């Protein structure tokens, strides 16, 4: 049996950010991934709901931008050959979970692939709003969270990932995502309480 040594993942206790140029990006916290009845339920996603909820409250109270992504697929989407049918447009499974429902001033981005920047208006929205820092949470850590965080970093956004706000299908997948965000994209790994919004 092969033994893999986990590389060092740098973590910071606190990240101070300005509300005016920072957004919270909540990736795919939808019924099909977070509800036990969902088509692609991620059991550990339930642990991230409360940290994400606290972050949403913190951002809204500071007047900072809150953005949701929704995996949003047509009925014959080729991705179903990989993952099976999930997050079909307009269905219960594609809706954001009730505990984290968007409010009227929040923005929702419907996405068709893992990367929330791919053929969506996300980059346009961030630039119009003057955003430089993205706090990324959600599921699944090594798939949509990682690809979105990486795509943000490649566009020179500063990426912050509170690790209690993300979830994956396995512990290996969670660690692998954090390793890539830290090592490859120079994102900052912290906790939900470690994200501090300052004027």
- Domain of residue 103, CATH code: 3.40.50.850
Residue 196, in any domain of the structure: no
111 catalytic per annotation = yes
Name the DSSP letter for residue 77. Answer: -
pLDDT beyond 90 at 197: yes
Average pLDDT over residues 185-194: 98
Q: Is 14 exposed, middle or buried (0-12, 13-18, 19+ CB in 10 A)?
A: exposed
Residue 6 has pLDDT above 90, yes or no: no
Between CA 178 and CA 198 the distance in angstroms is 25
Asked whether 162 and 194 are in contact (CB, 8 A), the reply is yes
Please give the pLDDT value at position 4.
Answer: 84
3-23 average pLDDT score: 95
Residues 172-190 have a mean pLDDT of 97
**199 pLDDT higher than 90:** no
CA 47 to CA 20: how far, in whole Å?
Answer: 29
What is the count of structural domains for the chain?
A: 1
% of the chain residues with pLDDT over 70: 100
Q: Is residue 5 part of a domain?
A: no
Task: Summarize pLDDT for 36-91 with one digit per residue, the tens.
Answer: 999 999 999 999 999 999 999 999 999 999 999 999 999 999 999 999 999 999 99
| Candidate list 115, 144, 164, 188, residue with the active-site label | 144
Show Cβ contacts of residue 151 under 8 Å, excluding neighbours closer than 6 positions: 115, 116, 117, 118
Determine which one of 58, 71, 77, 111 is catalytic.
111
- Residue 195 within a domain: no
Please, what is the average pLDDT of the chain? 97
Look up the pTM and report it.
Answer: 0.97
> What is the residue range of 141's domain?
27-190
Query: Is residue 26 over pLDDT 90?
Result: yes
**Is the residue at 19 inside a domain?**
no
Clarify whether 164 is annotated catalytic: no
Note whether residue 63 is domain-resident: yes
């Amino acid at each position: 049996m092969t033994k893999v040594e986990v590389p060092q993942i740098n973590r910071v206790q606190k990240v101070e950010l300005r509300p005016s140029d920072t957004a919270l990006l909540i990736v795919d916290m939808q019924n099909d991934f977070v509800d036990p009845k969902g088509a692609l339920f991620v059991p550990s996603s339930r642990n991230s709901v409360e940290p994400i909820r606290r972050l949403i409250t913190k951002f809204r109270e500071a007047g900072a931008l809150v953005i949701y992504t929704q995996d949003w697929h047509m009925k014959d989407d080729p991705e179903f050959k990989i993952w099976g049918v999930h997050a079909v447009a307009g269905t219960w499974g594609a809706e954001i979970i009730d505990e984290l429902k968007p409010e009227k001033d929040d923005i929702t981005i419907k996405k068709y692939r893992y990367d929330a920047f791919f053929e969506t208006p996300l980059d346009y929205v961030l630039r119009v709003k003057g955003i430089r820092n993205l706090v990324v949470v959600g599921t699944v850590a090594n798939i949509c969270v990682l690809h979105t965080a990486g795509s943000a970093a490649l566009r020179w956004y500063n990426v912050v990932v509170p690790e209690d706000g993300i979830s994956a299908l396995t512990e290996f997948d969670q660690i692998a995502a954090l390793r890539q965000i830290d090592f490859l994209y120079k994102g900052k790994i912290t906790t939900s309480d470690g994200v501090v919004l300052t004027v």
